[in-house]
Amino acid sequence: MPARMAEHILVVEDEADLADLIAWNLRQAGYRVTTAPRAATALAEIRRQKPDLVVLDLMLPDMPGTEVCKRLRRDAATERLPVIMVTAKGEEVDRVVGFEVGADDYVVKPFSPRELVLRVGAVLRRAAGTPDESEQAEVITIGKLAIDVPRHEVRVDGDLVSLTALEFKLLLDLARRRGRVQPRDALLERVWGYAPGVETRTVDTHVKRLREKLGAASDYVETVRGVGYRLRDDVPEA
C-alpha cells in the first residue's frame, strides 16, 4: 500500500507559543501543519490551501473563532470542513458544538497536546466516513422517518432533512440498533471514534441538534436517563 498523504491541519491561534506547541505535536503525529495568527489570515489560507481540518482558537484578535466557524459553515466550499474549537471556558461548549456555530469538536484550555492529537485523529476518521456502511443498498424506515443509507438522505414525512455527516452517522447508528439503549460511551466509540474513557458532552449536544432537525420525528430519539439514547421502534407506521 502506498504511504498515506499527510493530512493538512491549519492551526489558528494568535498566541505564538501555543501555536508552536500544537503544531509541533501534530507534526510529531505525522500531520502537515501550517499556522495562522488571525481570523482574516485563516479564512484566506483555508480558501487557498483547502486544509483537511482546522484547529480554531475561540479568542482571536480580529474576530471570535465562533464567527470564523459560522462563516465556514455558511460557505458551500467549507461547510463540511472539520473544525476543532479551542475554548477557554467549559460553559461555551454547548454553543460551540451546537447548531449556531457547528464545530465538530472542542478542547478546553488548558488541554494536553496528546488529547488534541487524539481528537484530530478521531474527527478526521469520522470525516473520511466508513465506505462499507455507505455502500450498502439499504433504506431504513421507522414510522415517519426514512434513512436512505447509500444516498446519505434522511426524510421525515417525505421531506428531506439536512444533516451533517456526523448527525447522519449518529442517527444511522441508533437506527441500526433501534429499540435498544445505546450508552453514551458506546456511541462515542462507534460514531466519534474515541477511545473508551474520553469524557465529553458532545453526544448530548449532537443528539439535541439531531432532534431539532428531525422535527415531527424528534421524539423518536429517546433519552434514557443516566445511560444514553435509544431510537424508538414502537412508533406507528407512516
Q: Which residues form the interface with Ca ion (CB under 5 A)?
A: 14, 57, 59
- Dihedral sign of CA atoms 130, 135, 139, 144 in order: positive
Nearest CB to Ca ion, comparing residues 59 and 77: 59
**How far is it, in rounded angstroms, from Cα 147 to Cα 141?**
6
Closest approach of Cβ 112 to Ca ion, in Å? 18
Closest approach of Cβ 88 to Ca ion, in Å? 8
Nearest CB to Ca ion, comparing residues 16 and 216: 16
Closest approach of Cβ 65 to Ca ion, in Å? 8
Nearest CB to Ca ion, comparing residues 57 and 92: 57
**How far is it, in rounded angstroms, from Cα 47 to Cα 31?**
19
Please provide residue 142's backbone torsions phi and psi, each rounded to the nearest 5 degrees: -135, 105
Closest approach of Cβ 133 to Ca ion, in Å? 38
Distances (CA, A) of 97 to 8, 87, 157: 22, 11, 27
Nearest CB to Ca ion, comparing residues 52 and 57: 57
In DSSP notation, 113-139 reads HHHHHHHHHHHHHHHH--HHHHTS--E
